[in-house]
Amino acid sequence: MNIQCKDRERIFWDGTAEEWAALEQHAAMCAVCAEEIRAWKQLSAAAAELRDPQESPALWSRIEASLREQQNAAANRGKFSRYFDYWTRAAHVWQLALAGAMVVALAVSGAYLYTHRAPQTMDASNKLLKSHALAEVERTEREYMSAIDKLAVDAAPQLNADTPLMASYREKLVVLDGAIAELRAQAGENPSNAHLRYQLLAMYQEKQQTLQDILETKR
C-alpha cells in the first residue's frame, strides 16, 4: 500500500489497520509523519491521566437508599391509582367486551330517540303554524281590501261632494293609501315580518273606518 504524507490525517480520522501499518512504514522514512503519529498517539496516552481510580465507598449506600425510597413512593402511589389502573390493565377481551356494551347501549339509545321524536314533530308543527298564521294574515288582508273596495264604491258619491269635510276625508284617504302602498311594498320584501303586517292591518282598519265615517255622513 502506497501511503503519503497527505494521507495522514485521513488515516488519523478513520484509517484501517492496514492503512495504519502502511503509515507507520512510511513514518520510518518521514520525520514529519513520525512526529505527528507520536503526538497523536501520545494524546490518547495522556487521556489515561484523566481516569480517576478514587473510590467512593459511601456512594452505593446513598444510591441504594434513594432507589429504595423512590421504589416505596412508587408503590404507595400504586395503591391509590390501582383502582384507576384497573381498566387499563384489564384483559384485552374485557376491554373489547366493554367497548361492545357501549356500542349496544348507544344503538339502543339512538333507536329510542328515533321512535320517540315528539319534540321534533312539535317543531314541524310550529313551522306549519307559522306558515298557517301568515296565510291567515294574508287572508284577513284580502278580506279587508275586499270590504274596503265595496265601501269605497258606496262612499264614492259622498266623497266626490265639494265640501270642506269631504275634501278633508279625501286628503286623509290619500295619506292612508300612500301608507298602505308603502307598507305593502315592505311586506312584499319580508312577508314574515309581523310588525309590518300589524301596521298594514291597522292602516286597512283605519281606511275602512274612514270610509264607514264617510257613509255615516249620508245618514
Partner 1 sequence: MGSVGFTLPWEHRISGAAPVRERRVEPSESRAETERLTADSSVDASVAAACLSGNLQGYEQLYRWQGSRMKNLARNLLGSPTDAEDAVQETFLKIQRSIASFRGQSSFVTWTFRILVNTCHDLRRSRVRRKDHASEDVESLQPANVPRARVSHPSLRMALERALEGLTSHQREVFLLYEVEGFRHAEIAGMLEISETASKNTLFQAKKNLRALLEPPRSAGAGSAQ
- The residues binding partner 1 (CB under 8 A) are 4-6, 9, 12-17, 20, 30, 32, 35-36, 38-56, 59-60, 62-64, 66-68, 70-71
CA distances from 49 to 46, 55, 58, 70, 80 (A): 6, 16, 24, 36, 52
CB atoms within 10 A of CB 27: 19
Q: Are 214 and 158 in contact (CB under 8 A)?
A: yes
Pick the closer one to partner 1 by CB: 80 or 114: 80
Write out the three cell numbers for 29: 522514512
Taking the complex as a whole, the smallest distance from the CB of residue 40 to partner 1 amounts, in Å, to: 7
Q: Which residues of 87-101 are buried (b: 16+ CB within 10 A; e: fewer)?
A: eeeeeeeeeeeeeee
Shortest Å distance, C-beta 95 to partner 1 = 20
CB of residue 88 to partner 1, shortest distance in Å: 14
> By the 8 A CB rule, do 215 and 154 touch?
yes
Q: Which residue, 21 or 124, is less far from partner 1 as judged by CB?
A: 21
Give least dist CB 33 to partner 1, A. Answer: 9
Find the radius of gyration of the CA atoms of the chain.
Answer: 53
d(CA 70, CA 64): 10
**Nearest to partner 1 of 43, 91 (CB atom):** 43
Question: Considering the complex, what minimum distance in angstroms separates the CB of residue 57 from partner 1?
Answer: 11
Give me the torsion for CA of 124, 127, 132, 133, rounded to 10°.
140
Quick one: 39 or 99, whose CB is closer to partner 1? 39
Q: Of the two residues 32 and 124, which places its CB atom closer to partner 1 in the complex?
A: 32
Beta carbon of residue 101, minimum distance to partner 1 (angstroms, whole number): 31
> In the complex with partner 1, which residue's Cβ is closer, 50 or 91?
50
